[in-house]
Structure 1
Amino acid sequence: MPTMPIEIGIDETSRKAIAEGLSRLLADTYTLYLTTHNFHWNVTGPMFQTLHTMFEQQYTELATAVDEIAERIRTLGYAAPGTYSQYAKLTSIEEPDGVPSAKEMIEQLVKAQEAVVRTARSLFPLVEDANDEPTADLITQRMQIHEKTAWMLRSLLEG
């Protein structure tokens, strides 16, 4: 039984390219989620309470984000990646090795937050060419959140 065509004003080629880009964004976001959750569990030191709480807020927000990104991929007519092996191939973020110090956790999270921003920003030419405003809105919101989070984390390293 053939599926109904998707006729939302974005051609098949553009939808596929955008979905592939969003799949990379999903992989980066999920990898960041997993790293942040890991650091929440394993952080130690004088900033424990602050970082434990902050990391929980961050991974909770990321959990919602992965759902929004995956649902946008589905809206465009493609399957969202959902396995560790798929994410490992698609992500631009390196997994932490062992349990870093609290300061190293912050530094790694800044780099990862910025990587997500770069991945999101790289989608703009495709999205703009296709007049895909819903995806543009989604990635703009993601960029704002990740840029702000990177700034807040960097602020912890000053002084």
Structure 2
Amino acid sequence: MSTKHQSESLASVVAIDKMNIGLQAAYRADISKDLSSILAATYRLTIKSHIYHWNVVGPVFKSLHELLEEHYNALFGAVDVIAERIRALGHLAPVKLDKTESFAPSHDSVDHKTAQDMVADLIADHEEAVRAMRKAATKAGDNDDVVTEDMLTARLTFHEKALWMLRAVIAG
């Protein structure tokens, strides 16, 4: 088989207008946009958690270093789950995540952050993720999309536990 024919046979043939999975096309497009935003935010949080993992210092170094490693590994796994749900809904997972250079904190901001500052920054990002996921999960539930709702419930569980643990690390 020629290379041209191989690539044609491997080409994705998706007719989203003919999809009949019990979810309206307009809803699938809308929730896929929401999930794409959640995916981008998850990447940002993954990268930030990883950078803070490398650069944290102080008396909570060991516990925070280990906690952030658990978090960035879980977050990295989550991006695949979210992207695959977007594909299952008949849409492309984001091919290009705009402004990826803004995903990570700057060198100067990391250099001058205390462990408490880093944790406070991560708490704000996790809280933002929780709010977006809760809103999308409600939309999914209202549209009988139990799979997306369940996926988001699992993600919310992770983020709310992460928030509890991060707050506990810096509790005075």
TM-score by length of 1: 0.89
More divergent stretch after superposition (37-46 vs 58-67): 37-46
Equivalent residue number for residue 3 of structure 2: none
Structure 2 unaligned segments of length 5 or more: list them. 1-11
Equivalent residue number for residue 16 of structure 1: 29
Q: Does 1:129 align with 2:134?
A: no
Shift of 1:87: 6.2
Shift of 1:55: 0.6
Equivalent residue number for residue 145 of structure 1: 158
Structure with more contact order per residue of length (Cα contacts < 8 Å, sep ≥ 6): 1
Q: Does 1:51 align with 2:64?
A: yes
Shift of 1:3: 3.4
The answer on whether the counterparts of 1:28 and 1:87 sit within 8 Å (CA) in structure 2 is no
Equivalent residue number for residue 122 of structure 2: 109
Equivalent residue number for residue 93 of structure 2: 80
More divergent stretch after superposition (7-16 vs 75-84): 75-84
TM-score by length of 2: 0.82
- Do the aligned partners of residues 158 and 75 (structure 1) sit closer, same or farther apart at CA in structure 2, a change above 3 Å counting? same
For residues 124-147 of structure 1, give each alpha carbon's deviation from its aligned partner in whole angstroms, at most 9, with x where no partner exists: 342123210000000111111101
Structure 1 unaligned segments of length 5 or more: list them. none
Equivalent residue number for residue 14 of structure 2: 3
Calculate percent identity across the aligned residue pairs: 39
Q: 2-side partners of 1:156 and 1:145: how far apart? A: 17
Larger radius of gyration: 2
Count of aligned pairs between the two proteins? 155
The answer on whether the counterparts of 2:60 and 2:169 sit within 8 Å (CA) in structure 1 is no
Equivalent residue number for residue 119 of structure 1: 132
Q: 2-side partners of 1:2 and 1:67: how far apart? A: 21
Q: CA RMSD in A?
A: 2.1
Equivalent residue number for residue 96 of structure 1: 105
